[in-house]
Amino acid sequence: MQINVTMKKNFLLAMMMCFGGTAMAQTPIYLDDNQSIEVRVQDALSRMTLEEKVRLSYAQSKFSSPGVPRLGIPELYWSDGPHGVRMEINWNDWNHANWTNDSITAFPALTALAATWNPVMSAAYGKSISEEALYREKDVMLGPGVNIYRTPLNGRNFEYMGEDPYLASVMVVPYIQEMQKNGVAACVKHYALNNQETWRNHIDVQVSERALYEIYLPAFKAAITKGGSWTIMGAYNKIAGTHACHNDRMLNQILKKDWKFDGVVVSDWGGTHDTKEAALNGLEVEMGSYTNGLTSESDFGYDDYYLGKAYLKMIKDGQIPESVVNDKAARILRLIFRTSMNRKKPFGSICTEAHYAAAEAIGNEGIVLLKNAPVTKKSSALLPLKKDYQNILVVGDNAVRKLNEGGGSSELKVKDMVSPLDGLRAIYGNRVKYAQGYTAGKPMYGNADVISKEVEDKLREEAVAMAKEADVVILVGGLNKNHFQDCEGGDRQQYGLPFGQVQLIEELQAVNKNLVLVLLSGNAVEMPWVDKVPAIVQGWYLGSMGGKSIANVLSGKVNPSGKLPFSFPVKLTDCGAHAFDELSYPGDGIKQVYKEDILVGYRWHDTKKIPAAFAFGHGLSYTQFEYGKAIASAKKMTEDGTLEIAVKVKNVGDVAGKEVVQLYIGDDKCSVVRPLKELKHFEKIALNPGEEKTVTFTVTVDDLKFYDDSKKDWMAETGKFKAYIGSSSTDIRTIVPFVLE
Ligand code: BGC
C-alpha cells in the first residue's frame, strides 16, 4: 500500500496542535473534516496573517504553490496534463528530474477521446488519470483542454476536443466529475481564445460577441457549471486588449459572476504581466516559466512574481482592498481542503490492468475509419485485414516512434508502450515485416533534424522494394510531436504531410494496391493522394496501449466506431479561418480578427457549400446501419415546450458495431446569419447484426437559439426549423421539419 506523505504530515501536525502545548486544546475548526469546507475556510482565514494570505497566490517551484506551514495547511502540487501525469520536473528549472518512479500510463490524446463520442469513455479517462495523479501525489491536473479547433495548423489541437462546442461540452464534463470524485482537481484550460500557438504570448484576439458565446465559451461553461471544475487556467493571449489571465470581463464577470465559479484561476505559466490588473481582475495563483527580471532561478526569486511582494505592498499601501486578498485566499484554501488536505481521498495506483484497459478501450472507440474501399470492382473492402495474409508489410516512422515524448507540456514518460508494430506483431507474429520508409529525425523540441536526400531516398526505396512482395502494406505515418508538428509553442508550417510521405505514398501504391494508411496526428492533413489509397484510418496519438487499439481495429477484433471531432478541409483555404487575409490567421503579430465569425469547422463547409475531404462526424464501420424515418411527437413546438424526435436504427450488416446517431438543428429563416445546421444531440448505440434500436432525442427551445449581440442574450425566432439526423454532418439520413410558435 502507498503511504501518502502529505496526509501523514497533516495528521501529525493536527495531532501536535490538538495535544501538544500546555492545555488540551480543541481541534481547530479548519482541521475538522466533519465541518463543512466553507466553515473551515473561514476559520483558517481568521487565523492567517496578511503575509500568509498573499503567499498562497504564487508559486514556490515550477509545479507547486505553498500552503500555510504554521497552521499545518499543506501546499498544492500541480501537474500536466492532460493525457497522463507528467514526469517530475526539477524544483527550479525545466529539466526532467530523472526520477525512477514517475513512469505512468499515457492515455489517448483528447482528440481521440472526443472522437469516441462516448461520455462513458470520458468518465473512464477522468477516473483512471486521477488514480495515477493520487499515486504521484498531485493535487491539480492541468487539463482537460477545450479550446476550439479553429485551424488545422494549431500545434496544440491534439490536446483539445475538436471544433464543435456541443461535442466538447458533453465530453468534458464526465472527465472532470470522475477526476474530482477522487479529490484531484481538474484544471480546464486555456481560458479562452487560445486557438493557435503562433504569437500565443501576446496576440490580441478579437472576436464577435456571438462567436464568443456560441463557439468559444460553451465548453468552458459546461466544464464549470456542469463539471464543477475546481480550477481553470487563464490563456496566454490577450482578449480585446487585456491578457486573458487578468481580464476583468472573462474572469470577474463571465466566470465568477455569471457562471458562479467558486474555485481558483491559475495563470498559464508566465502568463501574468501586471500586479494590479492580476489582483483586481480575478487571478488567484500565479505560476511561472521564469521570474520577471531574473536571469536565473532561485527560491528567493518567486517573491518577485507579480502576485508576490509587489502585491503585498499594494495591499499595504491601500491600492488593493483587503477584500480582494481575502477572496483569493478563501478560494485557494477551498481548493486545498478539496484536494491536498482532503483526508478522505483514496490511495492511488499507476499502470494497473484497469488503466491499461481504459486506455485501450478509449483507443478502440476513438479510432476513425475514414475510408475503406474495395481495391478492385470485384474485391471486398481492404479492412479488416484478411486472415490469410502471409506477408504483411508495416512501413513508417510512426509505427515505432515514441509519440508520448515531445509535444511540449503534455510530454509523458511511460512505463509500457505498445507501438503499432508491436500490436500487429502480437496478432500476426512473424508474418509482419517492417521498413521505416521515411524518417522524421529524433524527437525534439527545437529545430528539426535535417534529413539528407540520400537517407530519404534510401529509406523510401527499401520500403517500396519490400512492398512489391507484400500481400498488404500498412503505412503508419502522419505527424509527430516535434516542434512545428503537433507540438506546443509553434503552429504547423504546412497543411500537407511532412517528411517525404507524399512521395512515399505514391510510390507504395504504384507497386501495391493493397495500401492501408494509418494517420497518427492530432490534426487534419491535406490529402491530394486520397483517391489512390483505398483504406485510411485516423489513429490519433493513443498512448500506452495505442498499438493494441490500432491492431484491434485493423484485424477486425474491434469494429471501428469513432467519428471525426473536426473536419478535414480539402485545402487550407477551404477552412473558414484561412479563407480571409492574414489578419484572420495568424494575425499581424499584434492582433488577430476571427473573420469567419461563428462559421467554424463544418458550420463553414456546410453554409458556404465547400465540401470537406472528410466531414465532421464522419466515421465508417465494418457493418452498415440503416436509419428509419424520424418521427416527431408534434409538428409544432412552443417556447416552453419540447419535441421528442425518435428514429429507428438497425444494424443490417454481419458484425456487431456501434453507431453515433447525430442530430443537428437548422433554422430555415432568421434575421441573422446562421449555420446551415448545428449539432445539438447525439447518442452512441451498440447493435448486434440484425438488431434495431429506437433513439429518442428531446429537443428544447434552447437548441434553437442563437446569441443575440444586441440583446446580450440567447434568442430563438419563431418559424420553420429542421432536425437533421444522420451518421455524420454530411451523411444525413432523415429530416424532420417543425415549427416554433
Ligand atoms: C502550457 C500549459 C501547461 C503549463 C505548465 C504552459 O506552457 O501552455 O498548458 O499546463 O505550461 O507546463
Q: To 5 degrees, how large is the angle CA 107–CA 110–CA 113? A: 80
Say which of 102, 139, 204, 268 is annotated catalytic: 268
Nearest alpha carbon to residue 726 among 666, 669, 674: 666
Q: Which residues contact 260 (CB under 8 A, 6 or more apart)?
A: 225
- Which residue's CA is the nearest one to ligand 1's atom 6? 269
Q: How many helices (H) and strands (E) does the chain have?
A: 18, 29
Collapsing DSSP states into helix, strand and coil, what is residue 342? Answer: coil
**How far apart are the C-alpha atoms of 279 and 256, rounded to whole Å?**
14
Say how many Å lie between the CA of residue 412 and the centre of ligand 1: 13
At residue 290, does pLDDT exceed 90? no
**545 C-alpha to center of ligand 1: Å?**
25
Q: What is the per-residue pLDDT across 84-113, written as a single tens digit (0 to 9) for each?
A: 999 999 998 889 999 999 999 999 999 999
DSSP at 340: T
Q: Would you state the cell numbers that stand for residue 18, as one nine-digit string?
A: 490538538
Instruction: Please report the atom of ligand 1 found closest to the CA of residue 189.
Output: 9
Rounded alpha-carbon distances, angstroms, from residue 347 to 128, 392, 466: 12, 45, 51
pLDDT at 584 exceeding the cut of 60: yes
Residue nearest to atom 9 of ligand 1 (CA): 409
pLDDT digits (tens, 9 = 90+) for 480-498: 999 999 999 999 999 999 9
Is cis: bond before 190, omega within 30 of 0? yes
Q: Indicate whether 517 pLDDT > 90.
A: yes
Specify the pLDDT at position 48. 98
> pLDDT tens across 128-171, in order?
999 999 999 999 999 999 999 999 999 999 999 999 999 999 99
Percent of the chain with pLDDT over 70: 94
CA-to-CA distance for 245 and 57, rounded, in angstroms?
A: 13
Residue found by looking up cell 440567447 in the block: 714
For residue 22, the model assigns a pLDDT of 42
Contact 48 CB / ligand 1 (< 6 Å) = no
Grid cell for residue 655: 458484425
If one compares 378 and 182, the residue with the highest pLDDT of the two is 182
Catalytic residue status for 606: no
The span from the CA of 185 to the CA of 8, in Å, is: 20
pLDDT at 250: 98
Cβ–ligand 1 contact at 409 (below 6 Å): yes
Q: Is the pLDDT of residue 15 over 50?
A: no
How confident is the model at residue 641, as a pLDDT?
85
Q: Is the CB of 145 under 6 A from ligand 1?
A: no
Whether the CB of 618 sits within 6 Å of ligand 1: no
Residue 378: what pLDDT?
A: 86
Task: Indicate which residue's Cα is closest to atom 7 of ligand 1.
Answer: 269
Cβ of 81 below 6 Å from ligand 1: yes
160 C-alpha to ligand 1 centroid (Å)? 13
Cα-to-centroid distance, 116 and ligand 1 (Å): 25
CA of 236 to the centre of ligand 1 (A): 10
The finding on whether 139 has its CB within 6 A of some atom of ligand 1 is no
Quote the CA–CA distance of 688 and 692 in Å, as a whole number.
8
Q: Residue 142 CA: which ligand 1 atom is closest?
A: 10
The tens digit of pLDDT for each residue in 56-66 reads: 999 999 999 99
pLDDT for the residue numbered 299: 64
> What's at 166, amino acid-wise?
Y
Q: How many angstroms is it from 449 CA to the middle of ligand 1?
A: 25
R_g (Cα) of the chain, nearest Å: 26
The finding on whether 268 has its CB within 6 A of some atom of ligand 1 is yes
Q: Higher model confidence: residue 14 or residue 113?
A: 113
Query: Is 674 near ligand 1, meaning CB less than 6 Å away?
Result: no
CA nearest neighbour of 213 among 715, 718, 721? 715
Q: Is 52 in the pocket of ligand 1 (CB under 6 A)?
A: no
